[in-house]
Amino acid sequence: MTKIGIILGSTRPGRNGEAVAKWVLEQSKKRTDAEFEIVDIADYNLPLLDEAYPAMMQQYSKDHTKKWSEKIKEFDGYIVVTPEYNHSTSGALKNAIDYLNVEWGDKAAGFVSYGSAGGSRAVEHLRQIFAELKVATVRAQIMFSLFTDFVNMSEFTPDARHENSAQDLFDQLISWSKALKTTRQ
């Protein structure tokens, strides 16, 4: 069975991302062609990158890195749930991505973003970052506006139209994840 990690890319207190990630997981329950799991980067307590060797060498010395590496290796693809802070993704998510290299490669990723501009600029940056890591990013994405999909920019109330977008994202991501699995075998 294809395994998809829903990466919750914010560690901020009072973050909106947790509700968004749970919504993605709820939408995924309509599928029978993949397994989905939320991976909260906050659970890994990753300090600013503290490994002595480049990630591509996989010579990890820290337990938190080894634990993070093992979790990311489990998946065939990812849905990255990202906020947009200052026209980019969160520093915590970028740091978590930078901890690893090979574990990400030859897999697929899709994006669910939120922010005042729907998080689109955060996703633009993430597409470039993941391209360097040999991750194929799918075209379909979901963008939630803090103005129309949240009450008072904090209570998540997504418009129903996003449900169809979620299925489009899943279709593309699962298809690409299955295809790329052959390159890793």
Do the Cβ atoms of 111 and 141 come closer than 8 Å?
Answer: yes
The predicted model scores a pTM of: 0.97
pLDDT tens-digit readout, 48-91? 999 999 999 999 999 999 999 999 999 999 999 999 999 999 99
Residue 185, pLDDT score: 83
Question: How many residues are there in the chain?
Answer: 185
For the chain, where are the alpha helices, taking DSSP H only? 17-28, 63-73, 91-98, 120-132, 162-184
pLDDT tens digits along 53-62: 999 999 999 9
At 55, the amino acid letter reads A
Residue ranges and CATH numbers for the domains of the chain are 2-184 (3.40.50.360)
